[in-house]
């Protein structure tokens, strides 16, 4: 997102905040909080280190809530009341998380609008509520270190989080009682921390593989400007998936009760971490047996997941117009990149040794702290330029998509276009907001629908509405529609009730490439059909009231041409539709000329030659 740093006095955030502002990396597996002191960012640590496990334990009613290490300790014995990996569920529907449900030891319920977690004690909580508990814990840690209440936070989100997931993250911050100054993309935060630490210039790839999400971004760093050239990834791919692959590889299945699943996943995570230093280790769960696991086996289990990462990386390099040889470095982010297997894959993918100067667990929080400090009036020579991950547009007649803001456009950004009425006496516009790369509405994701009313009845093409898209610095979209005749304005802040699943994100982009030619044909057919229907309706209306201007031979030729056009419009050859439109225009040209001559004669009747010349523009 565009983090344009305002001049002193221009930002409300600065007026509202003191130096007690922090950056929070709200992670799938672990979370951190950092602040800027003495000109540099620092992670706030606790008695068990800087990492706070993103785990919440809901004790029996009336006994409170535990967060972090204490909750993690209860997780194996009380899996149904212990919620981890809530970030994979935030802002999503039940259908979106179908592929994740099997690897979670607690029960997920919900519908097409939102997901909820059904606790063993009987009640339900939302992922937003779980995230809010983690944020409260981080804020309490910061308050203890800073000597007073936190007055503003920057929270990081995966670059590939869609509008619903970003909005849900912001809502979690508000529920925790925090003033959310900004949502910041995780790769951008990492680049900010690296850029300021190293004084770097050049083009960098940020490879961010966390517990539950994967992002890759190409950034250009020049003189304090951090510009995201392209971004991609998968909002449901991370170390949790590798844990599940290890457990499945050892056990052959991941069945049993919730307690056994939780035990197997916990042991898989320990094995994964142990294989970062050792060539082999034992996988053992009490009561289930175990065996030795080698790093070669880990590599085999990890390869399918890493290939998904590789596909996204190659696509982002292409989007950015950069070859891997042109990269000045590769920045590793996320605890999963500690694994030698992952680093080996990244080295082969990009053809260079990845940077590891900063702790991959901490680098995002450090960058967020720097951005929080900037917004609170600290360092003023930094500009962050992020991008829209997926195109935003409107559905037009015929089901085609008119893109107003294209993928990888720098944000904040906006676009305005004017649209006209399709039919005579049309008194409203149906506005359907879409997200995706395909050319037709049915292949894109619906974000919102609303109606602009009060359009004065006029002939087709005369009524006009001006549609404006505005994407803010948090990547959230607002759509405004203004009817230009009356000045009536309708506005909607787009808050879809659920987000894109990992499969949908990948499908949207890959299918936009794979089906680009087919999509263009479908779009052209739809556009030509709309034009054909408009011309047929107008011609039939004129033929019904010819006012003595329609000769029999012209009528016969016109009706034959209309029949040909109607038949062509029912087919799928847009060239044939276009040719039939031209043929109808030619067949009815004498009639059209006669009507035009009569209209001009009527206008000029009783008018002097001088006035007539003025009217005709002579």
Same domain assignment for residues 464 and 555:
no
Please, what is the average pLDDT of the chain? Answer: 80
Q: Which of 14, 371, 367 is nearest to 182 (CA)?
A: 371
pLDDT-derived band at 59 (thresholds 50, 70, 90) equals: confident
CATH code assigned at 584: 1.20.1270.10
Maximum mean pLDDT: which of 279-293, 377-391, 559-573 = 559-573
Do 355 and 420 fall into the same domain?
no
CATH number of the domain that residue 269 is part of: 3.30.420.40
Q: Of the listed 96, 133, 137, 186, which one is catalytic?
A: 186
- Residue located via tokens 């006012």: 547
The domain spanning residue 482 has which CATH number? 2.60.34.10
Task: For residue 25, indicate whether it is catalytic.
Answer: yes
Do 364 and 418 sit in the same domain of this protein? no
- Strand, helix or coil at 196? helix
Regarding whether 447 and 366 lie in a shared domain, the answer is no
The answer to the question of residue 616 being in a domain is no
- Classify each residue of 542-581 as buried b or exposed e, where b means 16 or more C-beta atoms within 10 Å of its C-beta: bbeeeeebbeeebeebbbebbebbeebbeeeebebbbebb
Q: Are residues 586 and 488 in the same domain?
A: no
Say whether both 82 and 228 belong to one domain: yes
Identify whether residues 325 and 208 lie together within a single domain: yes
478 and 544 in a common domain: no
Same domain? 377 vs 399: no
Task: Please tell me which residue in 14, 25, 227, 483 is annotated as part of the active site.
Answer: 25
Among 129, 208, 395, 506, the active-site one is 208
Q: Is residue 5 domain-resident?
A: no
Does a structural domain hold residue 544? yes
186 is a catalytic site residue? yes
Q: Using alpha carbons only, what angle is made at residue 232 by residues 226 and 235, rounded to the nearest 5 degrees?
A: 115
* pLDDT score recorded for residue 114: 77
Residue 480 has pLDDT above 50, yes or no: yes
Half-sphere exposure of 482 (CA within 13 A, CB side): 8
Question: Is residue 528 annotated as a catalytic residue, yes or no?
Answer: no
Domain boundary (335, 359, 386) is at 386
- The verdict on 476 and 377 lying in the same domain is no
pLDDT confidence of residue 130: 93
- Domain membership of residue 198 (yes or no) is yes
What is the reported pLDDT for 1? 29
Which residue segment(s) compose the domain that 298 sits in?
A: 12-386
Task: Decide if pLDDT at 75 tops 70.
Answer: yes
- pTM (2 decimals)? 0.62
Task: Find, among 337, 35, 28, the residue nearest to 161 by Cα.
Answer: 28
Q: Which of 87, 220, 272, 403 is catalytic?
A: 87
Residue 403 lies in a domain: yes
| 472 carries an active-site annotation | no
Domain shared by 223 and 346, yes or no: yes
Residue 591: pLDDT over 70: yes
On whether both 242 and 99 belong to a single domain, the answer is yes
């Amino acid at each position: 997102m565009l983090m344009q740093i305002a001049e002193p006095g221009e930002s409300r955030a600065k007026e509202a905040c003191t130096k007690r502002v922090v950056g929070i990396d709200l992670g799938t597996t672990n979370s951190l909080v950092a602040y800027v002191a003495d000109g540099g960012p620092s992670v706030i640590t606790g008695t068990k280190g800087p990492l706070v496990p993103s785990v919440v334990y809901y004790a029996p009613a009336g006994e409170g809530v535990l967060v972090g290490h204490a909750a993690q300790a209860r997780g194996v014995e009380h899996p149904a009341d212990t919620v981890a990996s809530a970030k994979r569920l935030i802002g999503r529907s039940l259908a979106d998380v179908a592929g994740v449900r099997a690897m979670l030891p607690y029960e997920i319920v919900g519908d097409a609008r939102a997901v909820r977690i059904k606790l063993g004690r009987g009640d339900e909580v939302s992922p937003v509520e779980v995230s809010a508990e983690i944020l409260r814990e981080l804020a309490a840690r910061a308050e203890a270190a800073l000597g007073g209440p936190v007055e503003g936070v920057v929270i990081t989100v995966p670059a590939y989080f869609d509008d619903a997931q970003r909005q849900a993250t912001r809502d979690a911050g508000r529920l925790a009682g925090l003033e959310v100054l900004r949502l910041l993309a995780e790769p951008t935060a990492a680049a900010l921390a690296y850029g300021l630490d190293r004084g770097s210039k050049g083009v960098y790839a940020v490879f961010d593989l966390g517990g539950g999400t994967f992002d890759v971004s190409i950034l250009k760093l020049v003189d304090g400007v951090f510009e995201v050239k392209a971004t991609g990834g998968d909002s449901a791919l991370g170390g949790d998936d590798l844990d599940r692959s290890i457990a499945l590889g050892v056990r052959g299945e991941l069945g049993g009760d919730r307690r056994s699943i939780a035990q197997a996943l916990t042991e898989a995570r320990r094995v994964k971490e142990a294989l970062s230093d050792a060539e082999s280790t034992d996988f053992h769960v009490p009561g289930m047996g175990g065996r030795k696991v080698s790093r070669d086996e880990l590599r085999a289990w990890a390869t399918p997941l890493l290939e998904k990462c590789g596909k996204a990386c190659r696509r982002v390099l292409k989007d950015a117009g950069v070859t891997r040889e042109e990269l000045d470095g590769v920045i590793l982010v996320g605890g999963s990149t500690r694994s030698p297997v992952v680093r080996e894959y990244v080295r082969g993918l990009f053809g260079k040794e990845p940077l590891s100067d900063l702790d991959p667990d901490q680098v995002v929080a450090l960058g967020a702290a720097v951005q929080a400090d900037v917004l609170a009036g600290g360092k003023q020579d930094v500009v962050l330029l992020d991008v829209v991950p997926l195109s935003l547009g409107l559905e037009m007649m015929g089901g085609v998509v008119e893109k107003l803001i294209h993928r990888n456009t720098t944000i904040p950004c906006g676009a305005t276009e004017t649209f006209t009425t399709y039919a005579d006496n049309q008194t409203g516009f149906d506005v359907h907001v879409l997200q995706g790369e395909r050319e037709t509405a049915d292949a894109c994701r619906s974000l919102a629908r609303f109606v602009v009313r009060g359009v004065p009845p006029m002939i087709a093409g005369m009524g006009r509405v001006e549609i404006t898209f505005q994407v803010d610095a948090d990547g959230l979209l607002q759509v405004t529609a203004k009817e230009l005749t009356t000045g009536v304005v309708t506005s909607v802040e787009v808050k879809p009730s659920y987000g894109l699943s990992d499969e949908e994100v990948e499908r949207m982009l890959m299918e936009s490439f794979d089906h680009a030619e087919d999509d263009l044909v479908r779009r052209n057919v739809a556009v030509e059909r709309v034009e054909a229907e408009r011309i047929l309706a107008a011609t039939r209306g004129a033929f019904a009231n010819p006012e003595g201007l329609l000769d029999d031979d012209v009528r016969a030729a016109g009706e034959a041409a209309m029949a040909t056009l109607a038949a062509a419009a029912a087919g799928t050859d847009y060239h044939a539709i276009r040719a039939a439109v031209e043929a109808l225009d030619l067949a009815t040209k004498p009639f059209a000329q006669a009507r035009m001559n009569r209209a001009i004669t009527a206008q000029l009747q009783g008018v002097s030659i001088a006035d007539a010349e003025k009217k005709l523009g002579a």
